[in-house]
Structure 1
Amino acid sequence: MINPLIQTRIASHLYTVTMLHEDEALMERCHKMAISLIEAFKNGKKVLFCGNGGSAADAQHLAAEFSGRYYLDRPPLYAEALHVNSSYLTAVANDYGYDEVFARLLTAMGTDGDVLVAMSTSGNSANVLNAIKVAREKNMLVIGMTGMDGGKMATLCDILLNVPSKDTPRIQECHMLLGHIVCEVVENKLFK
């Protein structure tokens, strides 16, 4: 006998992906994200990711797809997740507070023309919002990946991919779907 929870969650996933697929404006913003990353990489700029929890894992995953490879055996692209240095993260969280962990590193690493991909399912994570503020000060492009209404990030991002859901797991699943699609578009344009 199949557990009904399994079928329910798969149905929920399919519904969210269908809503995503039918949102033409969101598809256009996804394409705009890919084009923006292509331009940044062409100009020797960095793409820096940030997020918490599952979004941190997604940020690290997507950064690895760019800096390692996706489908193609090709030169690496400069992409990094801002949380991967645990000594830095714990020291800054201890000394300055967790709300500053991304902003402080972005202050050191970010330059004019770089891209920040800020990931927060609610769009309201204080440390992500602080990173966006620093990115703005450094004239970086800000791409937000959020849920339904985008939260506070909605008005702060140049490009917003707000998945049409309020359910955190479904949002994160769609962030990875969109992120993988963007990786493929970038690779095809730069290296095929």
Structure 2
Amino acid sequence: MTSIADRLQRNLDASIRAMQELKQQDGTLATFEAAVAATVAAYRNGRRIYIAGNGGSAADAQHLAAEFVSKLARDRAPLAAEALTTDSSILTAIGNDYGYEQVFSRQLAGKAVAGDIFLGITTSGQSPNILRALEQCKRMGVPSIVFLGRDGGPALPLADYGIVVPGQATSTIQELHIVLAHTLCECVEAAIFGD
């Protein structure tokens, strides 16, 4: 039987390995830099970010929206952000009337305008509702960022900025996603409000 200490050590080692590997992926880092620039441009043009995911990634979407609207590292004016995962009436109405795969794309169709930013979070890159949201973004001229894991799945080619992190375990992938999310918000804060 694996001891608690052994299990924790194994998980820490996996997280550290994945983070070290991500640091070496120049292409991924360049894509992330371009995604940050697109987000900064959207905010400078008076636009907003919409964020979505499922399960733990839904919680991460809410977490990141809170960081933008409230603050991350410094006191500053709020930045417009919305998690598309929070309104139970909208989610259940769309899910019931149109299907769960439409819960994010239909919200984008009703709320987003060209020049806003969409951030999808999916460890597998296969979430049907994220795929439909990315397709909706293409139709509307809404730049899309997606945080992914494993091979990126079918979401990777649909996104304007597909960022695939290393790691096989969902937990490791989600740990890296939250590092990306915090860094995105930190970079936007610095660009809009100064270091």
Please tell me the TM-score bracket, short chain as reference: over 0.9
Alignment counterpart, residue 141 of structure 1, candidates 140, 143, 154: 143
Residues 2 and 150 of structure 1, relative CA distance in 2, 3 Å threshold:
closer
Aligned to 2:17: 15
Distance in 2 of aligned mates of 1:185 and 1:111 = 23
Can you give the 5+ residue segments of structure 2 that lack an aligned partner in the other structure? none
Equivalent-residue separation in structure 1 for 2:92 and 2:81 (angstroms)? 22
| Aligned residue number for residue 128 of structure 2 | 126
Report the counterpart of residue 150 of structure 1 in structure 2: 152
TM-aligned CA deviation for residue 3 of structure 1: 2.2
Partners of 1:10 and 1:165 in 2: CA distance: 12
Partner of 1:43: 45
- Work out the CA distance in 2 between the residues paired with 1:49 and 1:97: 19
Distance (Å, rounded) in 2 between the aligned partners of 1:103 and 1:28: 27
Q: Which residue of 1 aligns with 2:33?
A: 31
Aligned twin of 1:113: 115
CA distance in 2, matches of 1:156, 1:91: 26
* Gap runs ≥5 in structure 1: none
Deviation (angstroms), 1:53 = 0.4
Partners of 2:96 and 2:19 in 1: CA distance: 39
Is the partner of 2:162 in helix, strand or coil? strand
Deviation at 1:166, TM superposition (A): 2.5
Number of residue equivalences: 192
Q: Distance in 1 between matches of 2:93 and 2:157?
A: 31
Provide the C-alpha distance between the structure 1 equivalents of 2:153 and 2:52, rounded to a whole number of angstroms. 16
Cα distance change, pair 43–3 in 1 and its aligned pair in 2 (3 A): same
Equivalent AA in structure 2 for residue 165 of structure 1? G
Identity %: 39
Deviation, structure 1 residue 165: 2.0
- Structure 1 residue 2, shift from structure 2 partner: 5.7
Distance in 2 (alpha carbons) for counterparts of 1:31 and 1:171: 19
Q: 3-state SS of the aligned residue for 1:3?
A: helix
Aligned equivalent of 1:88: 90
Q: Distance in 2 between matches of 1:127 and 1:186?
A: 27
Dislocated runs of 4+, deviation >3 Å:
none
Q: Distance in 2 between matches of 1:79 and 1:2?
A: 39
Give, in whole Å, the separation in 2 of the partners of 1:85 and 1:181. 26
| Residue of structure 1 in register with 2:70 after alignment | 68
Give the Å deviation of 1:148: 2.4
Superposition TM-score, scaled by structure 1 size? 0.96
Aligned-partner residue type, residue 77 of structure 2: P
Q: 1:52: which partner in 2? A: 54
Q: Which residue of 2 aligns with 1:189?
A: 191
Q: Describe the SS at the equivalent of 1:183.
A: helix
- TM-score scaled by length of structure 2: 0.95
